Structure 1
Amino acid sequence: MSLLRHYVPILLLHLCILSGEPAAAKVPALFVFGDSTVDTGNNNFISTVVRSDFVPYGRDLHLGKSKSDDTDHPTPTGRFSNGRLAVDFISETFGLPPLMPPYLDPNADISNLAAGAGYDNSTSDLFSVLTIWEELDYFKEYAARLRGFQGEEKAAQTLAEALYVVSMGTNDFLENYYAVPQGRASQYPTAAAYGRDYLLGAPGSFVRALHALGARKLDLNGLPPMGCLPMESALVGLR
C-alpha cells in the first residue's frame, strides 16, 4: 500500500501532461533545480565540457524555419534530449511557456533555474558545472530582483505559490561514483552505501533552505531507473 501511495502522484502528473489540457490550478512561476536531465541550456553559458549545443541533440525540436529556405531545422538548445524536457511539458501544462529558457541566458527574462548539478558538490567539480548551492544563490538573486519589481508583499505571494521542482542525483552516481574510481567509489564500497551514508542528507538541507526563502509547493523527484541507461550498464560492467 505504501508503494502505491508513492506512485499515484507520479502517474497522475503524467496523465495530466499527456491529456494536453492545461491544469485548472495555475502557478505563477516554475523554478527548476537539478542536473543535466532538467538543464534547459545553462551549460551553454558556463565554461564546461558538459554541453549539448550540437546535433543530434535537439533533432526533434523544430523552433522555426531557417532564413535560407522554407523547411524546419532541428535546434540544439543545450537540452540533453532530442526534444523537449519533462520540465518543459510541466511548464506548458500549468499555462507557462512551453520551452523554459535557461536562467543564465543574458537575453532571457525568466523565472526558472536549471543546471548540471548533483547533491554532492564534488560531482559538479568534476566537470565545472554549477553546484546545487550555486543554483540556490542564483535563486536568491532572482528573488531579490523580483522583490524590486513586484514589491515585498506581491513577491512573497509569487514565491509561495510557485512550483519548485528538484531533480538530481543521477550525475552523482553515473559520473562521480561509477565513472571516476578515485572519486566517491574509493570512499564507499557500494553505490547503496554512498547514497545511504552520504547523499541522503543533502536533499533535506536543500529543501529546508528553499522553504526558508519562501518555497511552499515543492516536487522532490527520486532517481530515474538508471539501470536502463547504457552509460551505467557499461560503467557497472567495467567495475
Structure 2
Amino acid sequence: MHSMARMHFPLPSRPFLLLPHLFLLLAATVCGAKVPAIIVFGDSSVDAGNNNAISTFLKSNFRPYGRDFIGGQPTGRFSNGRVPTDFISEAFGLKPTVPAYLDPMYSIKDFATGVCFASAGTGYDNATSNVLNVIPMWKEMEYYKEYQQKLRSYLGDDKANFILSEALYVVSLGTNDFLENYYSSVPGGRRSQFTVRQYEDFLVELAAGQITELHRLGVRKVSLTGLPPMGCLPLERTTNFFGFNECVQEYNNVAVEFNGKLRKAVNRMNRQLPGLRMVLSDPYELFLEIIRKPSSFGFNVAQRACCATGLYEMSYMCNQQNLFTCTDASKYVFWDSFHPTEKTNQILAGYLTKEVLLPAFS
C-alpha cells in the first residue's frame, strides 16, 4: 500500500504550467553519481518486490502489474512500471532500478549500488505491519544490519563504510498507518487508544526513533518522505458515498498536519544527531495539483485507476483476468486504487529530486 507505498522546499511560482514532458525529463538528469548507492526503507510506495518472498496476501508479482516495466516483468512493484526510488537512483547516475533485498535473482554485488528493504503494507507502527502480515520496520532495519555485514565482507571495511555513510537513504511510509490501521475497522485498533492528533505524535516519535537507530548504525544522508493527499486515493473516493465520491478532506488534512510535524522532527534531529543531513521530501502539493488538474500533466483520468474498474481493486483483485483494465496507463494518475502509475511516480520523483535531493546531496 502506499505512503508514497513523502527539507521543505518552495514550489516554483508557475510549476504546473510547464509542459508535462519537462517533468518527465527531470528524473533523467544524469550528471554522474552524487551518492554511491540508494538504500530504501518503507512500504509499497517503494517496495521493489520484497513481499514476493514472505507469506502475505499483499503481492503484485503478476500481470498486469509491471506490464510497462523493463521487459514487461511483474517484479512485485505496485505499479505498471517503476516506482519513485528507481527514478531517484537513475537521476543520481546510478542504475535505473533498485533491487529488492529478498529477491533471489540478486546478490551483494547488485546491492552495492542500491538495495530496497521496503515491504508493501507496512508502517511506522508495528501494529500496522501485523494487519496484513508484512515486514515491520524493525525487521527492515535488521535486514539492513545483515546487508552491512555482507557489504563489508564483499568490499572490505573501508570501501563498504564509505558507501554506507555516503549513500542516500530514502524512507517512505506512513499512509498505511492511517488508512489500514487507524481509520480501518481493526478490532482493538489504534483508534480506540489515540485521537488522530495523538496518533500523529505517536508515529512521529516512532519515526524519530527509527532514524536515530539508523544514525547509530552510520547512516548520514536521509530523505524522509511525507504523506500524499491520501484522501484522494481512488479507494477512499469510491467509499466516500456521502461525500459524492470526492476526496476525503479529513484524510488530506491529517496528511498535511502529519507532514508539518515530520518537518519539525527533521529539523530537530538535524540539530541533535551529529553529522545527520536529513530532508523532508513532501509530495503533497504537487500530487494534489496532479489530481486536481490532470490534463495539465498529460493525464485524462484522476478519480479512478487504470487497473480493473479502477474503483477499489488492488493486489490480487487487479489481475490479468479482469477485462476492464485500461490499455494506456499513461493517461491515468493511478494504476490501482491505492498506487500511482509509473508516469505519476516519474513526475513526483523527478520534481522532488530536482528541488530537494540534488540540492541537498550533490
| TM range, smaller chain | 0.7 to 0.9
In the alignment, what sits opposite 2:90? 92
Structure 2: state its 5+ residue gaps: 1-6, 16-21, 243-247, 249-362
Instruction: Please identify, of 179-188 and 213-222, the stretch whose mean Cα deviation from structure 2 is larger.
Output: 179-188
TM-score (norm 2): 0.56
In the alignment, what sits opposite 1:154? 159
Distance 1:28 1:9, change over 3 A: farther
- Conserved? CA contact 1:118–1:131, under 8 Å: yes
Asked if 1:231 corresponds to 2:229, the answer is no
Structure 1: state its 5+ residue gaps: 64-73
| Alpha-carbon distance in structure 2 between the residues aligned to 1:16 and 1:52 | 25
In the alignment, what sits opposite 1:216? 220
Count of aligned positions: 221
| Alpha-carbon distance in structure 2 between the residues aligned to 1:137 and 1:22 | 32
Match of 1:195 among 200, 215, 231: 200
| Alpha-carbon distance in structure 1 between the residues aligned to 2:237 and 2:162 | 45
Q: Which amino acid aligns with 1:96?
A: L
| Alpha-carbon distance in structure 1 between the residues aligned to 2:192 and 2:240 | 15
TM superposition shift of 1:158: 1.0
C-alpha deviations, 1:17-41, integer Å up to 9, x for none? 6262214452111100001111001
| Alpha-carbon distance in structure 2 between the residues aligned to 1:181 and 1:174 | 11
Distance 1:34 1:229, change over 3 A: same
Match of 2:76 among 50, 75, 78: 78
In the alignment, what sits opposite 1:108? 106
| Alpha-carbon distance in structure 2 between the residues aligned to 1:16 and 1:208 | 34
Percent identical residues = 50
C-alpha deviations, 1:98-140, integer Å up to 9, x for none? 1221100122122412213210001101111100010000000
C-alpha deviations, 1:149-192, integer Å up to 9, x for none? 22222221111111100000011111111223422122224x33
In the alignment, what sits opposite 1:59? 67
- Which consecutive segments of 4 or more residues in structure 1 shift more than 4 A? 14-17, 234-239
Asked if 1:42 corresponds to 2:77, the answer is no
